[in-house]
Structure 1
Amino acid sequence: MNYDVFNGDADGIIALLQWRFADPLETQLVTGVKRDIKLVEQVEVQAGDELAIFDVSMEKNMSALEQALAQGAHVFYADHHRSGTIPSHGNLDAHIDLDANTCTALIVDKLLKGRFHTWAITAAYGDNLIAKADELADKAGLDAGQKAQLKELGTLINYNGYGSKVDDLHFHPADLYQALKQYVSPFDAIADNASPYYQLQSAYQQDMNAAQAVPAVHESSKLKLFVLPNNAASRRISGVYGNWLANQNPDSAHAVLTENADGTYTVSLRAPLSNKQGAVAVCGQFSMGGGREAAAGINALSKDDLAAFIDAVETYYA
């Protein structure tokens, strides 16, 4: 059996798109909302199975990965999140790069020698690697209008991945992947009025307008923090809103908290773009926290811990 395991955000979807454009194969798709990262354990592995895994932390999936290898599966693994100690195993082909200025789709782009480069640039924009994406787009000879189109498409694909459950999303990530797979170029997706691009474009603007109307609850030279209400629109927009805020003020950290039904907060933290490190160190101090250097989160932060979270961010970036 062949399995494709991938994060439901822009980076995971587009990393897999490139891989399957290069190596078309019918596979079982395993994915979910962006924060659903323990995906490898969802696969019932048997000897001889082939797993291709994109944009989910190896560290968070280590026990399931080791079990899959022990069962005799062959695993290709590409990612840019914290990996832990990478297993030394003949059946594991791991491509892990923790550089804050790369993403999984760019790792795959290098492996494929740029065969679907405009898709990789789209993923970089979606993962908020704006400077890197601009640099790659300029080298590729794209004009300002084309760059803006790829940036918007990447942002919209990423936006679709946020939610506490799949019902919050406009498209199940597997369905979005399948819909995009018919476009070998991202410009083809943009040119097709029936593509998901246009449905996501309209929904994104509505959700963004609602988020931008919410005032900050904490603001200092080091951190700006917002709390969004408990609804699907807030859960959908939280991550891309955090990216948008980071680009407005690159010298500050930004946190977007969304109220959960149980009284906790879901946290999206963005490190300052001028100092893209430390987000995972801050969020890792709290239960259910994780991520990467430039962007991290906490799935359930107690309201009693909000002051401690603010203090942790302020202290780290002091």
Structure 2
Amino acid sequence: MKAIIFDTFGEADVLQVAEVPQPEVRPDDLLVRVYAAGVNRADLTHRRGGYGRPNFGDSTIMGLEIAGEVLQAGSAVRGYKVGDRVMGVVGGGAYAEIARLDWRMAMPIPQALDYVHAAAIPEVFVTAHEAMLHLGRLGAGDSVLIHAAAGGVGSAAVQLARATGATVYATADATKLDQVRRLGADCVIDYRTQDFAQVVAEQTSQRGVDVVVDFIGAPYFARNIASLAHGGRLVQVGILGGGGEVSIALEHILYRHLQIFGTVMKSRPQADKHAMVRRFREHWLDRFAHGAGLAPVVDSVFTLEQAAGAHRRMESSENVGKIILTMTA
């Protein structure tokens, strides 16, 4: 089968197509003919050497989410059979014509969706639900500030928040604000020219928001805390703007009853990942099938051979929604 490999860490040009053996099926595996795969920032980190030479428990090939057709089911698989259309989060191996997928990380593709749009769902929508609904406990009538709202997880979070009945404040580049507003944001904020904490304070009459979902990290931390209402929850999903040390007066956490969560899907135990997928599937999957206001956002599509171009597109930060690779069977 064809797959993307790289011999050395480096820029996007290190990616190359090669023939590699197809994965062996274990009892809990689905062997899937991959028709589309999502590109994630973790793939850039993988390519640059940020993880060393990982196999994520499944494959040395990069890529974390797929959509395709079941070719074979392991002996312990329940609920799936050969020929089923599935999408899901894999432990590496998505940048290939065939991948193996733990059946507990799989979801049936809603009938109305093609493979490209299905591949834009698993990683980002599961992550958005886990961060904002499960950890952040966002509910109808609450308010949420979503950073990087034009990205994959951010655009998913905006839709889920809107569908929950929350008021949505969202930051993005000025060129993307109209698109974020169309996704369901009530108040869009240009992060380059506006102070989001000041905007939130003004728009909420100094109350703040119930939940902040942040991908940026240290540069936003103090303003995120300032933007929270009494009893508010900050959920840290990424550190695109930098990690390192942050400081906070403990009195703010204590007397304002604040909570701070961190979440990264890739480093969680497998049982936790199963639960994350199950929670998302039970709560939201039917909404995609019935056209009830949720839709995967696809920015652009590249062939497997164009993987380097897909990485450069993500590195440009010009994308709104997901970047997808398609495979040629």
TM-score by length of 1: 0.33
Asked which structure has the greater RCO (Cα within 8 Å, sep 6+), the reply is 2
Larger Rg: 2
TM-score by length of 2: 0.32
Higher helix share: 1
Higher strand share: 2
